[in-house]
Structure 1
């Protein structure tokens, strides 16, 4: 057995919108063996990382930082810069959801938003979104929890973070329906609505892109095969660049009208073709079952 080395430790800073599912993500991480410090003032991040280093390292260390720290939160960007200056390389994971989902969740638990004050719930959400805009754009990983229940979010966290430290790039391939909205966490979006729609073929309509007859119909089209080959060629230098820059998780969204036929079949094919020794693919069909 190899001796533990702090250089191989994982350090994650978890942040994001209130109500987007941070608590669920924390519980899932703790179940996977992560040591999680919740509601940490940003200025304490360097002290936490140094403390872990002084004690021989913590294999999986995570800190949750968000607007609950009030005035302390303004120091978040500087704290991240200080971490990198001290030789630490945390991954910043941003948990997000659309406004509709956030409003529904706050109303279901009958709790005010931490920034709501005397205003409306939506005022607090919009204020927080403005505060976090730059942080969101710079995050290493964006997790969209819109439409996910607790069990689905837990499963997603397990798939993303359950494998331990690894140099493999993890690609989440998400099929979706445009009529339900584009996934918020998509790094790359492909639109399959240029392909013939199996929905208009009565004998194929009840099935999905996971069924052989629908997959065969979609993938038999020359334009589908040409798209897949060109998409793989397009992504080759991008994926190599992601690895070189230290990004270990990206999301590719593949959409069609309803997220049932074309996007599912193509997403399945991309996941199969991209899965290699250097890349691990995770497949999610977001909107299957919604029709």
Structure 2
């Protein structure tokens, strides 16, 4: 029966219980509440323990499977159709300038930053330790690279532990 199993478990854990400095009754905690309690009690407080990875990608190569948030940039002006920009990447100042000068891009970035301003504190208070933000365009070479870089810089300026990876930039 269940009561017998509980009694057996208590018996097996008795030695460990004797060695414990502290015992926490977790019966009434949700997973999130327990995580919060343990974090507050046993881990040093850091401003952001959240590890953020910003990934640019090309939809034609598939979505990054580890994505928590996916943002689409395929509606932004495409440098691919301009001969002088086609062979460059979103790391080039010329491509960056072309993408960032667009009113659509400026508005989109503003809204992304507002969304992140809302989400990041909530992810932190929930105890999330890793967050992958994926930004896609058709090939993963131009628009997604520019927007991913802007998101990376925005997060970095707010002291987040953030890395960036351009998955498809040279495909």
| Matched-pair contact (CA < 8 Å) for 1:177–1:258 | yes
Q: 1:227 aligns with which of 88, 99, 108?
A: 108
| Matched-pair contact (CA < 8 Å) for 1:167–1:248 | no
- Larger relative contact order (Cα-Cα within 8 Å, sequence gap ≥ 6): 2
Aligned length: 141
What residue is the counterpart of 1:178 in the other structure?
Answer: 59
Q: 2:140 aligns with which of 246, 259, 265?
A: 259
What residue is the counterpart of 1:26 in the other structure?
Answer: none
Kindly tell me: are residues 196 and 276 of structure 1, through their superposed partners in 2, closer, same or farther at Cα, counting changes over 3 Å? closer
**1:245 to partner: Cα distance:** 1.0
Deviation string for 1:31-56 (max 9, x for gaps)? xxxxxxxxxxxxxxxx9xx7xx96xx
Q: Does 1:218 align with 2:107?
A: no
Q: Which runs of 5+ in 2 are unaligned?
A: 1-12, 21-30, 40-44
Q: Which runs of 5+ in 1 are unaligned?
A: 1-46, 55-80, 90-164
**Greater share of helix residues, 1 or 2?**
2
**Regions of 4+ moved over 4 Å:** none
TM-score normalised to structure 2 length: 0.72
Deviation string for 1:6-40 (max 9, x for gaps)? xxxxxxxxxxxxxxxxxxxxxxxxxxxxxxxxxxx
What residue is the counterpart of 1:275 in the other structure?
Answer: 156
What residue is the counterpart of 2:23 in the other structure?
Answer: none
* Alpha-carbon distance in structure 2 between the residues aligned to 1:214 and 1:283: 18
Deviation string for 1:178-229 (max 9, x for gaps)? 0011111111111000011111111111110001111110111010010000
Deviation string for 1:109-137 (max 9, x for gaps)? xxxxxxxxxxxxxxxxxxxxxxxxxxxxx
TM-score normalised to structure 1 length: 0.44
**1:277 to partner: Cα distance:** 4.7
**1:248 to partner: Cα distance:** 2.7
**1:276 to partner: Cα distance:** 3.4
**1:237 to partner: Cα distance:** 1.5
* Alpha-carbon distance in structure 1 between the residues aligned to 2:136 and 2:95: 16
